């Protein structure tokens, strides 16, 4: 019994950064997001964006994107320029520098012509904004999945997404629009940044609450929440070493801010 739509996994992209020495490091995750435009005949039309964190694109001239072909061939890597011929950025961050979201348009026709296996989250069907989450009754304790490529684990010859389970640890402050982040209790590591977080479908709920029967995209992984453990010298009673550890909590940016960034991108570039 699948609780996660298989095509969700085809929406996730491994993002790498080339070094000046010619090497390549897989540093983050991203995903394809379709912003619904209109119905034309029997087709639903979307503008397709690559979503990730601002800090993934910032300061880089280009990144490398990795996709699986539809055939059983090894994964293909594509160099994606983040600057145009005039050295201007072709990607857009959220207007608020505290919101770690960035996106750029991506030409899926090239991917289709080259036999790449891909899909995207559809904004009108697979997404739960903060208002939608309030309507659905999503709250603390609900189960979620974090999808991506932690620690550069891209999967060898082909991309194989790592799916990690967790629960929503705190969301009511986000639903009340008092913070820009949701907290989840899930093991997040470098490489998960920019990956999507989706709800786990549930058939049961306690009396007086709702069950969420579908998997919804609710946000973008930002980073794990760390804590500091300070070693004190027994002789001087002064701090000697500070250890920074993963607390097991992760900050997630609600999908509302992706939609705001799309509007900013359209204002900046048209469309």
And the tokens for 247?
């607390």
253: Cα within 13 Å, side-chain hemisphere? 25
User: What is the pLDDT at residue 22?
Assistant: 76
Q: Are 126 and 116 spatial neighbours (Cβ–Cβ below 8 Å)?
A: no
Domains along the chain? Answer: 6-269 (2.40.10.120)
Closest CA to 197 of 249, 242, 160, 144: 144
pLDDT at residue number 202: 83
How far from each other are the two terminal CA atoms of the chain, in whole angstroms? 40
pLDDT of residue 156: 87
Closest CA to 105 of 265, 225, 268, 254: 265
Q: How many residues does the chain have?
A: 271
110: DSSP letter:
H
DSSP secondary-structure letter at 183?
E
One digit per residue, pLDDT tens: the chain, 271 residues? 468 899 999 999 999 998 777 789 999 999 999 999 999 988 999 999 999 999 999 999 999 999 999 999 999 999 999 999 999 999 999 999 999 999 999 999 999 999 999 999 999 999 999 999 999 999 999 999 999 999 989 988 999 999 999 999 999 999 999 999 999 999 899 999 999 999 999 877 677 667 788 899 999 999 988 888 888 888 888 888 888 888 899 999 999 999 999 999 999 998 6
pLDDT of residue 13: 97
Tell me, what DSSP letter sits at residue 200?
P
Both structure tokens of 165: 């389970």
For the question of whether the overall pTM of this predicted structure is more than 0.85, the answer is: yes
Non-local CB neighbours of 28 within 8 Å, separated by 6+ positions = 15, 52, 53, 56, 149, 191, 193, 194, 195
Structure tokens given for 37: 């435009």
Report d(CA 134, CA 124) in Å as an integer: 17
Q: What's residue 86's pLDDT?
A: 95
Phi and psi (nearest 5°) for 245?
Answer: -125, 155
Which uninterrupted H or E stretch holds 175? helix 172-175
Instruction: Output the CA–CA distances (angstroms, integers) from residue 18 to 60, 77, 114, in the order listed.
Output: 10, 12, 23
């Amino acid at each position: 019994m699948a609780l996660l739509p298989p095509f969700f996994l085809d929406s996730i992209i491994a993002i790498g950064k080339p070094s000046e020495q010619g090497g390549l490091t897989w540093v983050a995750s991203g995903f394809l997001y379709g912003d619904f435009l209109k119905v034309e005949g029997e087709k639903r039309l979307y503008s397709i964006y690559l979503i990730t964190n601002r800090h993934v694109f910032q300061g880089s001239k280009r990144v490398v994107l990795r996709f699986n072909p539809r055939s059983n061939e090894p994964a293909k890597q594509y160099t994606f320029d983040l600057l145009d011929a005039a050295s201007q950025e072709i990607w857009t961050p959220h207007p608020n520098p505290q919101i770690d979201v960035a996106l750029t348009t991506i030409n899926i026709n090239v991917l289709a012509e080259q036999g790449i296996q891909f899909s995207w989250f559809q904004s009108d069907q697979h997404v739960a904004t903060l208002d939608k989450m309030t309507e659905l009754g999503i709250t603390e304790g609900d189960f979620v999945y974090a999808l991506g490529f932690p620690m550069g684990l891209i999967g060898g010859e082909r991309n194989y997404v790592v799916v990690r389970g967790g629960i929503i640890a705190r969301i009511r402050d986000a639903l009340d629009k008092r913070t820009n982040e949701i907290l989840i209790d899930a093991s997040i590591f470098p490489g998960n940044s920019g990956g999507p977080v989706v709800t786990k479908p549930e058939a049961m709920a306690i009396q007086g609450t709702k069950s969420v029967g579908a998997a919804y995209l609710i946000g973008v992984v930002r980073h794990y929440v760390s804590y500091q453990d300070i070693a004190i010298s027994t002789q001087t009673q002064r701090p000697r070493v500070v250890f920074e550890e993963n607390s097991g909590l992760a900050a997630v940016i609600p999908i509302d801010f992706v939609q705001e960034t799309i509007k900013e991108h359209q204002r900046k570039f048209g469309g």
